[in-house]
Structure 1
Amino acid sequence: MIVLHEDRETALPGATADGDSLWLDAAQVAQATGWTWKPEGLCHGDTCVPLPPARRGTIVRDGRLDLAAMWGYSGQPVLHDAASQVWVLGTGAQQRSAALGSLQAPDFALPDLDGRMHTLAEQRGRKVFLATWASW
């Protein structure tokens, strides 16, 4: 079993899959995601996502956590390819939007069609669409 999450690819030979469920023990959860499985839920630093009480019996079984169900419960996308045994644990749109909203591209200068130079800094505060291509 291979789990892809953020910038890591983790091979988990002891993990099991059952349909849309991905069963991992606590060590495998931490290895694949960086999150810690505690009795109160999945935790990363000071942030904890509690296990849903109504589904606790279906998410936890025999000392293993259905990470796919828990990931989906927390609002994060989960994809898997049963044939190749690859699982992708994505980042939700709200988290991506918050991260991207604070990013700024470094300043650079480019000429327009008449040869006049323009810098990105001149456009700060405005939306900019930059189209590039190669002719080779």
Structure 2
Amino acid sequence: MDLTAFARRFDRPVVRDEEHSVWAFGESASARKDDLLSLQAPDFALPDLDGNMHSLSDYRGKKVFLYALASW
């Protein structure tokens, strides 16, 4: 399968790490534009330290501070 052609066909940005044979696809430009114009983050859920799940939508209408860290 030609993954570059696939990404182009669906208007998705793509990066490839040849050394590790890894491909990553992003959102289309139109989807990114819509997200930026709406100023709304997509909903997701994560566990707290006690294992209780919390979704972003649980806090709709409240101010939320999101902190993300990547060690790479």
Superposition TM-score, scaled by structure 2 size: 0.46
Query: Which is bigger in relative contact order (C-alpha 8 A, separation at least 6)?
Result: 1
Superposition TM-score, scaled by structure 1 size: 0.27
Higher share in strand: 1
Higher gyration radius (CA): 1
